[in-house]
Protein backbone atom coordinates (compact mmCIF):
# COMPACT_ATOMS: atom_id res chain seq x y z
CA UNK A 1 0.00 0.00 0.00
CA UNK A 2 1.42 3.37 -1.04
CA UNK A 3 1.28 6.24 1.45
CA UNK A 4 -1.07 9.08 0.68
CA UNK A 5 0.35 12.52 0.06
CA UNK A 6 -1.97 15.21 1.35
CA UNK A 7 -1.02 18.48 -0.34
CA UNK A 8 -2.13 21.72 1.34
CA UNK A 9 -1.61 24.81 -0.81
CA UNK A 10 -3.53 27.59 -2.52
CA UNK A 11 -0.82 28.17 -5.12
CA UNK A 12 -2.38 26.68 -8.27
CA UNK A 13 0.88 26.65 -10.23
CA UNK A 14 2.69 24.87 -7.38
CA UNK A 15 -0.18 22.37 -7.05
CA UNK A 16 0.02 21.56 -10.75
CA UNK A 17 3.77 20.92 -10.50
CA UNK A 18 3.39 18.69 -7.45
CA UNK A 19 0.52 16.75 -9.02
CA UNK A 20 2.69 15.99 -12.06
CA UNK A 21 5.56 14.76 -9.89
CA UNK A 22 3.26 12.55 -7.81
CA UNK A 23 1.44 11.15 -10.86
CA UNK A 24 4.73 10.23 -12.54
CA UNK A 25 5.85 8.40 -9.39
CA UNK A 26 2.44 6.71 -8.89
CA UNK A 27 1.69 8.25 -5.50
CA UNK A 28 -1.87 8.64 -4.25
CA UNK A 29 -2.54 12.27 -3.42
CA UNK A 30 -5.32 14.62 -2.36
CA UNK A 31 -5.30 18.43 -2.59
CA UNK A 32 -6.58 20.72 0.15
CA UNK A 33 -6.92 24.50 0.04
CA UNK A 34 -6.70 25.07 3.79
CA UNK A 35 -5.45 23.45 6.99
CA UNK A 36 -9.04 23.38 8.24
CA UNK A 37 -10.11 21.38 5.19
CA UNK A 38 -7.19 19.00 5.80
CA UNK A 39 -8.07 18.54 9.49
CA UNK A 40 -11.66 17.69 8.60
CA UNK A 41 -10.54 15.01 6.14
CA UNK A 42 -7.64 13.46 8.08
CA UNK A 43 -9.85 10.88 9.76
CA UNK A 44 -10.54 9.33 6.35
CA UNK A 45 -6.85 8.75 5.56
CA UNK A 46 -4.71 6.00 7.09
CA UNK A 47 -1.10 7.13 6.89
CA UNK A 48 1.17 9.21 4.76
CA UNK A 49 2.80 12.57 4.29
CA UNK A 50 1.30 16.03 4.61
CA UNK A 51 2.95 18.44 2.17
CA UNK A 52 2.27 21.87 3.66
CA UNK A 53 2.87 25.20 1.90
CA UNK A 54 4.21 27.63 4.51
CA UNK A 55 4.16 30.69 2.25
CA UNK A 56 0.50 30.92 1.36
CA UNK A 57 -1.31 29.51 4.38
CA UNK A 58 -1.83 31.00 7.85
CA UNK A 59 0.20 28.33 9.65
CA UNK A 60 1.48 28.65 13.22
CA UNK A 61 3.57 26.46 15.51
CA UNK A 62 0.40 25.57 17.38
CA UNK A 63 -1.40 24.40 14.23
CA UNK A 64 1.52 22.19 13.16
CA UNK A 65 2.06 20.85 16.69
CA UNK A 66 -1.62 19.88 16.94
CA UNK A 67 -1.54 18.21 13.51
CA UNK A 68 1.47 16.07 14.36
CA UNK A 69 0.27 15.13 17.84
CA UNK A 70 -3.27 14.22 16.81
CA UNK A 71 -2.28 12.41 13.61
CA UNK A 72 0.98 10.61 14.38
CA UNK A 73 0.55 8.36 11.33
CA UNK A 74 1.39 11.37 9.15
CA UNK A 75 4.69 13.19 8.74
CA UNK A 76 4.86 16.82 7.66
CA UNK A 77 7.03 18.02 4.80
CA UNK A 78 6.94 21.78 4.33
CA UNK A 79 7.48 23.76 1.14
CA UNK A 80 8.55 27.38 1.11
CA UNK A 81 10.37 30.01 -0.90
CA UNK A 82 11.95 31.29 2.34
CA UNK A 83 14.92 29.63 3.96
CA UNK A 84 13.88 30.69 7.48
CA UNK A 85 10.57 31.15 9.26
CA UNK A 86 11.29 32.66 12.70
CA UNK A 87 7.64 32.30 13.75
CA UNK A 88 7.81 28.55 13.07
CA UNK A 89 11.05 27.82 14.92
CA UNK A 90 9.51 25.10 17.15
CA UNK A 91 7.78 23.35 14.27
CA UNK A 92 10.81 23.40 12.00
CA UNK A 93 13.02 21.92 14.71
CA UNK A 94 10.54 19.41 16.14
CA UNK A 95 7.45 18.65 14.05
CA UNK A 96 8.42 19.13 10.40
CA UNK A 97 10.53 16.37 8.84
CA UNK A 98 12.01 18.58 6.11
CA UNK A 99 11.40 21.90 4.38
CA UNK A 100 11.67 21.78 0.59
CA UNK A 101 12.52 24.91 -1.35
CA UNK A 102 10.07 26.27 -3.95
CA UNK A 103 9.77 25.39 -6.73
CA UNK A 104 9.72 21.80 -5.50
CA UNK A 105 12.44 19.66 -7.03
CA UNK A 106 11.04 16.30 -8.19
CA UNK A 107 14.09 14.29 -7.08
CA UNK A 108 14.10 15.86 -3.62
CA UNK A 109 10.38 15.26 -3.10
CA UNK A 110 10.64 11.64 -4.24
CA UNK A 111 13.69 11.15 -1.99
CA UNK A 112 11.72 12.24 1.09
CA UNK A 113 8.65 10.19 0.14
CA UNK A 114 10.77 7.07 -0.41
CA UNK A 115 12.57 7.66 2.90
CA UNK A 116 9.20 7.96 4.64
CA UNK A 117 8.07 4.67 3.07
CA UNK A 118 11.21 2.85 4.23
CA UNK A 119 10.69 3.98 7.81
CA UNK A 120 6.90 3.81 8.15
CA UNK A 121 5.58 1.26 5.67
CA UNK A 122 7.92 -1.56 6.71
CA UNK A 123 6.99 -1.39 10.41
CA UNK A 124 3.98 -3.64 9.84
CA UNK A 125 6.28 -6.28 8.29
CA UNK A 126 8.41 -6.62 11.42
CA UNK A 127 7.11 -9.29 13.81
CA UNK A 128 6.42 -8.07 17.36
CA UNK A 129 9.03 -8.82 20.02
CA UNK A 130 7.93 -11.38 22.60
- Chain-centroid distance of CA 31 in Å reads 11
Does residue 130 belong to any structural domain of this protein? no
Does residue 94 belong to any structural domain of this protein? yes
Full pLDDT tens readout for the chain, 130 residues: 567 999 999 999 999 999 999 999 999 999 999 999 999 999 898 899 999 999 989 999 999 999 999 999 999 999 999 888 878 988 888 999 999 999 999 999 999 999 999 988 775 544 454 4
| CATH for 64 | 3.40.50.2300
Does residue 84 belong to any structural domain of this protein? yes
Does residue 80 belong to any structural domain of this protein? yes
Does residue 93 belong to any structural domain of this protein? yes
User: Domain span at residue 76?
Assistant: 4-125
Does residue 73 belong to any structural domain of this protein? yes
- Domain total in the chain: 1
Helix axes 106-120, 12-24, angle to 10 degrees: 60
Amino acid sequence: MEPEVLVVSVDEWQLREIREILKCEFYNFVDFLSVEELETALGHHQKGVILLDLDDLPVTDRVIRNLTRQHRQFSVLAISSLSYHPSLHESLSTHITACLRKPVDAEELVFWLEAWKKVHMNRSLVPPLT
